Amino acid sequence: MSTIVASRYKLVSPVGRGATGVVWRAYDLLLEREVALKEIALPPGPEAAERRRRVVREARMAARLSHRGIVTVHNLAEEAERLWIVMEFLEALTLHDTLVQAGPLPADLVAAMGRRLLEALRHAHDGGVIHRDIKPANIMLTGDRVVLADFGFAAPEGTASTSMRGTPAFIAPEALHGRGGTREADMWSFGATLYMAVEGRTPFRTVTSMAALVEALREPARAPRRAGPLEPILRGLLRKDPRARLSAERTSAMLADVRCFSAA
């Protein structure tokens, strides 16, 4: 028997797992369209209220962003000790899956993808939202769209945290000290994602513990081997001092130059 959520959404099949919950393919019985439902279980006890607060914040922040490069949020439902974020359904591969299947991508393709992703990120930043978990697994590629997904760690700009938020291989050095709620920290993660896309590896050696991560981030990023004209962009984005890091505006212009160079 099919599961119906909130008397409206018929669950079809799980399609993935985000940082904070399982994502389902579903069908909206009222509007007769496919949707995606992100299922988030509420823990027992006093932690439930905090988890609920974070999920509602995530949904509200994502819902107020209207851009074709950001997954659209339609609704938020609560049922059976679970919260369900209702979003547009995308027939897409993540950038992570694409790299697993196809290997590193050409520099001109990464530049084109990066420009579209950066447009979405700048829209979020202009709306006062910091993503805090930009990585290949949170980027959807479908048709001519590059879509930023999973705002589970997102926060208002300037938010301080006593705990690390994000994925170790893509987290900015300052986020280790609770200063990850900035545009500059997102730009580091964006740079690490572009590096992974064109190089097929992370900028720093693989780490399995917090101590190893701290040690790795003290070292310079591994020299790119395939980046070509992207190399100065990657180096500028992966500067450890956030004040010296490339801005979104400068990065966008440099990515445009890479595309022009590649087409010449």
What are the residues facing 37 on neighbouring strands?
24, 86
The answer to whether 38 is annotated as binding is yes
Q: What tens digit of pLDDT does each residue of 39-89 get?
A: 998 888 888 888 888 889 889 989 999 999 999 999 999 987 899 999 999
Pairing mode of beta strands 33-41, 82-88: antiparallel
Catalytic residues: 133
Structure tokens at 223: 């020299």
The CATH class of the 8-88 domain is alpha beta
> Half-sphere exposure (CA, 13 Å, Cβ side) for 261?
13
* pLDDT of res. 263: 46
Domain locations along the chain:
8-88, 93-263
Domain 93-263 has CATH 1.10.510.10: yes
| pTM assigned to the model | 0.90
pLDDT along the chain (264 residues), means of 10: 90 83 94 96 84 87 93 92 93 95 96 96 95 94 92 80 68 80 94 97 75 71 93 96 96 87 48
- φ, ψ of residue 72 to 5 degrees: the values are -80, 130
